[in-house]
Structure 1
């Protein structure tokens, strides 16, 4: 009985042990489940004093070349010159009358009509007396010590035609009653003393130049008809039509004919200047520091660029006219034309709007 109980107890123990081992095996073979990670402690915001100090970098652009902004364009008027740059300048020279013998003279209605319609220089003076030194002064800037109407008193000096040619412009003098181009002797109606161009060596001694530029008045009509009027023109009437040997009514009739022909030339009427003047008067009045003078003469400026019905009371002389021509064409000033005391003709000019 006792052994049977022992066997039963032993058997029960063995079953219990087997069950226990079985349970342990199940546990050992079960899959492992990772434990959830422990939460990390929150990150602390670092103190600013613990951050590394980094220098700030500002990007910059360095151009390869200095760039200057263009200014805003502004419209400005081109300043006008003090004297218009005339396309043509024509001088007609008469003989031996004071202004008081011409202006208001009923024998000269044509001269007075142009003087009243355009500009009259009321205080324009010749340089000296007699004729020849005045002609020389007008195109050479000096009388060169000449005080008579000598024939062979030639001058080796530059003159206005030299400067005109150098500027690319053209010129001619038209001498009425001159028998042939560049003629040097007197005739009944032609006087070399009224032709200053042949007195200058650079013109007279150059035969071809002299014959091409110092011509008879008859060539002017052909040059007008063919559109070949030179830029600078100097016209000398013969001894009668200039007033030297004939009355002022004859001068006026001759002037009427040639002014009509000249003013019908389009380029002259639109962009030119005609000067009517006299070589000398009959007194010794003068101006501008050149004493004694050769009288006060009636000088008229005819142009679309002069004031209409205007009288200019500024004192002028032949050197002033030379200075004005040179200024209009940007030429060097010859002789006394360069003197500060020689007035430039400026008051009469008026540009059309």
Structure 2
């Protein structure tokens, strides 16, 4: 599974000219899920839903970043209860207690293997470790912005903890196997050399440039990434063009593999209004959802929201989130078992994908909102499989 960042379906699979490899090569080879949705804004809540079926806390809904809603620190989830549908009730916090299970825990219990491959993790050891890289519990996350290349860190460091869902569960970070299972992306090539060394479940997070988060993709001065690349869909497309052929050439993929390419959430649209010498810029996220998605027990008074990022006599910039969903992002599936060029208009979201993977792997039960029996699963979609 490859997760990219912050792009709307209408751009990625429509108007954009920055991703020709994804649009013109991969989509015709695989299945396009036109109605695939993120589950929240602004980032971390999506990753957590993919892995555990959990909805946000007042901290994870804002990436556990200082200055927004919540404490802004890498702290334990303050659990006060559990709902009947398996959702943690919490007043805040980022790291879930060890009794909150993840897909990784389910796979381990089934004697199946898994590994998270993280772009740039450990490039700067002063920020994070090269394996199982996360902040000190109770401290600030040092990875919220990318670090440019320097003499001390020649490659720079654009790893972001908030895009690594494994780091938010004590069941994973407290285990000695975390250092084996959450590693730098550089290890993937060697792991793919044989079926025996390829994990049953692979989760890939590119760095902040290669996932399209940073930069606008144009290559214009001042509009790119900290490492000098253009970012946006341009860099995301280049990442796919490098890695997808490597994965598809592997024995494990040829035997019975499937690649999922999607985005964590949609992007904002911008509106600008001027009056009395002051300009107001609004970054608007609709927060649309699908699939009977529920907001969870912890978002009362948090969504919808308007956060003022800049407030000067001449400029106001507002961050506006209207709903609790993550908007329409789309997804592409590639597999020897997928009908090339197929299109599915069935609605899916990250909870649907988790439920689909739990079914494929035959693990015990469905986690959190993935236990919703009304969710569609990709294995039942006859329009896309041979």
TM-score, normalised with respect to structure 2: 0.65
Structure with greater proportional helix content: 1
Say which SS state the counterpart of residue 222 (structure 1) adopts.
Answer: helix
* Counterpart Cα distance in 2 of 1:266 and 1:226: 6
Q: Which residue of 2 aligns with 1:286?
A: 289
Provide the aligned C-alpha RMSD in A: 1.5
Q: Is the Cα–Cα contact under 8 Å of residues 31 and 340 in structure 2 kept in the other structure? A: yes
Deviation at 1:266, TM superposition (A): 2.1
* Counterpart Cα distance in 1 of 2:252 and 2:213: 31
Residue range with higher mean Cα deviation, 237-246 or 285-294: 285-294
Which segments of 5 or more consecutive residues in structure 2 lack a partner in the other structure?
Answer: 65-73, 76-93, 123-129, 136-141, 148-157, 215-230, 268-284, 296-323
Q: Which residue of 1 aligns with 2:171?
A: 202
Change (3 A) 1:281 1:348: farther
* Counterpart Cα distance in 1 of 2:362 and 2:165: 23
Question: Residue 296 in 1 paired to residue 334 in 2?
Answer: no
Which segments of 5 or more consecutive residues in structure 1 lack a partner in the other structure?
Answer: 1-90
Say which SS state the counterpart of residue 253 (structure 1) adopts.
Answer: helix
* Counterpart Cα distance in 2 of 1:172 and 1:274: 14
Q: Which residue of 1 aligns with 2:185?
A: 217
Say which SS state the counterpart of residue 328 (structure 1) adopts.
Answer: helix
Say which SS state the counterpart of residue 34 (structure 2) adopts.
Answer: strand
Change (3 A) 1:169 1:341: same
* Counterpart Cα distance in 1 of 2:382 and 2:210: 28
Deviation at 1:117, TM superposition (A): 2.3
Say which SS state the counterpart of residue 35 (structure 2) adopts.
Answer: strand
Q: Is the Cα–Cα contact under 8 Å of residues 336 and 342 in structure 1 kept in the other structure? A: no
Deviation at 1:107, TM superposition (A): 1.5
| 1:298-344, Cα deviation, whole Å (9 max, x unpaired) | 20010111222111001110000000001112112101111123222
* Counterpart Cα distance in 2 of 1:317 and 1:351: 19
Question: Residue 97 in 1 paired to residue 11 in 2?
Answer: no
Q: Which residue of 2 aligns with 1:269?
A: 254
1:118-133 pair list within 5 angstroms: 118-133=30-45
Say which SS state the counterpart of residue 237 (structure 2) adopts.
Answer: helix
| 1:235-274, Cα deviation, whole Å (9 max, x unpaired) | 0000000001022111111111100110000221231100
Deviation at 1:293, TM superposition (A): 1.2
* Counterpart Cα distance in 1 of 2:384 and 2:265: 28
**Equivalent residue for 2:381, pick from 339, 342, 347:** 347
Say which SS state the counterpart of residue 333 (structure 1) adopts.
Answer: coil
Runs of 4+ in 1 over 4 A off after TM superposition: 348-352
Q: Is the Cα–Cα contact under 8 Å of residues 131 and 178 in structure 2 kept in the other structure? A: yes
* Counterpart Cα distance in 2 of 1:351 and 1:278: 22
